[in-house]
């Protein structure tokens, strides 16, 4: 018989899938690391379990404890699945710009969800950063995950996602392109790939309204770069410890409109029904096309599933209301 001991045993070993149409002007082979095959439908299952296991080993998370995290949904989903299997209580703190589907899905897997306003500064007591920290302080036997600064996040990708990509491409990968939020994916995968072959180039996809690109290019944390944006999952108004700028060769920024349109195009032209950050990532990859030569193998990572965006990027009324389509 062949079976997993529990649902967590199905995390990882996701397929690589060739992108065939959305590669205009690119001769290189473009392969998508397709993370929606994880049980929580996103790459975040990997780091959620790793962060919990490291916290258990360090004695920070004890039996019967409560896990508290500020999350846009996918990390919460991974943590919630692990909490069920391992017997913890789960509390997710979210910003109100996140799709309603994400909130409903977290509640469906037994998480308590606290919703906070989006457009307040990170140090505002109402922000989801501040609220998660306060709840963690007030709740006995609780552990605050802090995916931004918890380096088990990067380690998960260094130990699993990176080696899988190296193995699946027979060591032929030349470029890695990925959206950056906490930075765990790009830093862990990028570090692993560069250790195998220092010539691998690592590109981050950022959004307008986020500090990453300017900081990487100038070393300056420019508050003028920070303003509200629509794209979900990538970009930040802080510098998370998980972003290792030293392994990133460059960033490209994608507009909210392009990210939304390319999210639709992936579904309609490739049959890839994916989340908003996948649209941003493929548009970012197209913006970088002059960097790719004929025999290159470019791997792009797609973080999450389209079902969480049916009320937004996959809803033409919403797309029209936002002015993204006629």
Catalytic residues: 44
11 near ligand PMP, rule: CB under 6 A:
no
- What's the closest the beta carbon of residue 164 comes to ligand PMP, in angstroms? 15
Which residue among 70, 275, 279, 284 contacts ligand PMP (CB under 6 A)? 275
183 near ligand PMP, rule: CB under 6 A:
yes
Which residue among 127, 252, 277, 319 contacts ligand PMP (CB under 6 A)? 277
Q: Which residues from 187-216 bind ligand PMP, rule CB under 6 A?
A: none
The answer for residues whose C-beta is within 8 angstroms of residue 179's C-beta and 6 or more apart is 185, 204, 205, 206, 233, 234, 277, 278, 280, 281, 284, 301, 303
The answer for residues whose C-beta is within 8 angstroms of residue 43's C-beta and 6 or more apart is 35, 74, 161, 185, 301, 303, 304
Which residue among 181, 190, 209, 284 contacts ligand PMP (CB under 6 A)? 181
- What's the closest the beta carbon of residue 188 comes to ligand PMP, in angstroms? 8
Please, which residue, 209 or 275, has the CB nearer to ligand PMP? 275
Cβ-contact 94, 76 below 8 angstroms: yes
252 near ligand PMP, rule: CB under 6 A:
no
Which residue among 38, 98, 185, 264 contacts ligand PMP (CB under 6 A)? 185
Q: Which residues from 101-160 bind ligand PMP, rule CB under 6 A?
A: none
In Å, what is the CA distance from 24 to each residue of 194, 287, 303, 321?
Answer: 27, 11, 22, 29
Q: Which residue stretch of 52-60, 107-115, 177-185, 316-324 sits at the interface with ligand PMP (rule: CB under 6 A)? A: 177-185
Please, which residue, 27 or 96, has the CB nearer to ligand PMP? 96
74 near ligand PMP, rule: CB under 6 A:
yes
Q: How far apart are CA 140 and CA 184, in angstroms?
A: 28
Cβ-contact 244, 158 below 8 angstroms: no
233 near ligand PMP, rule: CB under 6 A:
yes
234 near ligand PMP, rule: CB under 6 A:
yes
Which residue among 72, 152, 169, 210 contacts ligand PMP (CB under 6 A)? 72
179 near ligand PMP, rule: CB under 6 A:
yes
Q: How far apart are CA 23 and CA 11, in angstroms?
A: 29
Q: How far apart are CA 209 and CA 255, in angstroms?
A: 9
Q: Which residue stretch of 28-36, 179-187, 221-229, 256-264 sits at the interface with ligand PMP (rule: CB under 6 A)? A: 179-187
Q: How far apart are CA 14 and CA 9, in angstroms?
A: 13
Residue closest to ligand PMP when measured from CB atoms = 233
Tell me, rounded to whole angstroms, the distance of Cα 49 from its chain centroid: 15
Q: How far apart are CA 254 and CA 205, in angstroms?
A: 7
Cβ-contact 52, 61 below 8 angstroms: yes
Cβ-contact 4, 10 below 8 angstroms: yes
Token readout for 297 is 């193998």
93 near ligand PMP, rule: CB under 6 A:
no
304 near ligand PMP, rule: CB under 6 A:
yes
Please, which residue, 66 or 153, has the CB nearer to ligand PMP? 153
Q: Which residue stretch of 12-20, 101-109, 116-124, 182-190 sits at the interface with ligand PMP (rule: CB under 6 A)? A: 182-190
In Å, what is the CA distance from 317 to each residue of 231, 305, 313, 321?
Answer: 17, 20, 9, 6
Please, which residue, 275 or 284, has the CB nearer to ligand PMP? 275
66 near ligand PMP, rule: CB under 6 A:
no
Sites of contact with ligand PMP (CB under 6 A): 44, 72, 74, 179-186, 233-234, 275, 277, 303-304
């Amino acid at each position: 018989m062949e079976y997993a001991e529990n649902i967590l045993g199905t995390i990882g070993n996701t397929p690589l899938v060739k992108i065939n149409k959305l590669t205009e002007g690119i001769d290189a082979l473009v392969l998508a690391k397709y993370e929606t095959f994880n049980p929580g439908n996103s790459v975040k299952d990997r780091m959620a379990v790793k962060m919990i296991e490291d916290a258990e080993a360090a004695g920070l998370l004890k039996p019967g404890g409560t896990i508290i995290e500020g999350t846009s949904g996918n990390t919460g989903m991974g943590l919630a699945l692990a909490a069920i299997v391992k017997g913890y209580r789960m509390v997710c703190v979210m910003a109100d710009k996140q799709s309603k589907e994400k909130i409903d899905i977290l509640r469906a897997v037994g998480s308590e969800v606290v919703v906070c306003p989006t457009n307040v500064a990170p140090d505002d007591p109402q922000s989801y950063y501040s609220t998660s920290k306060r709840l963690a302080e007030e709740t006995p036997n609780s552990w605050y995950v802090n995916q931004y600064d918890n380096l088990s996040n990067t380690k998960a990708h260094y130990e699993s996602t990176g080696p899988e990509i190296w193995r699946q491409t027979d060591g032929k990968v030349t470029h890695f392109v990925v959206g950056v939020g906490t930075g765990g994916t790009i830093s862990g995968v990028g570090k692993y790939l560069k250790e195998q072959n220092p010539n691998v180039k690592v590109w981050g996809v950022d959004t307008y309204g986020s500090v990453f690109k300017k900081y990487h290019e100038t070393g300056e944390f420019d508050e003028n770069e920070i303003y509200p944006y629509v794209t979900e999952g990538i970009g930040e108004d802080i510098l998370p410890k998980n972003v290792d700028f030293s392994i990133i060769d460059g960033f490209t920024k994608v507009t909210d409109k392009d990210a939304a349109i390319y999210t639709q195009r992936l579904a309609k032209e490739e049959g890839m029904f994916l989340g908003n950050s996948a649209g941003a990532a493929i548009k970012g990859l197209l913006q970088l096309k002059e960097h790719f030569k004929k025999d290159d193998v470019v791997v792009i990572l797609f973080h999450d599933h389209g079902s969480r965006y049916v009320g937004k990027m996959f809803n033409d009324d919403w797309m029209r209301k936002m002015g993204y389509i006629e």
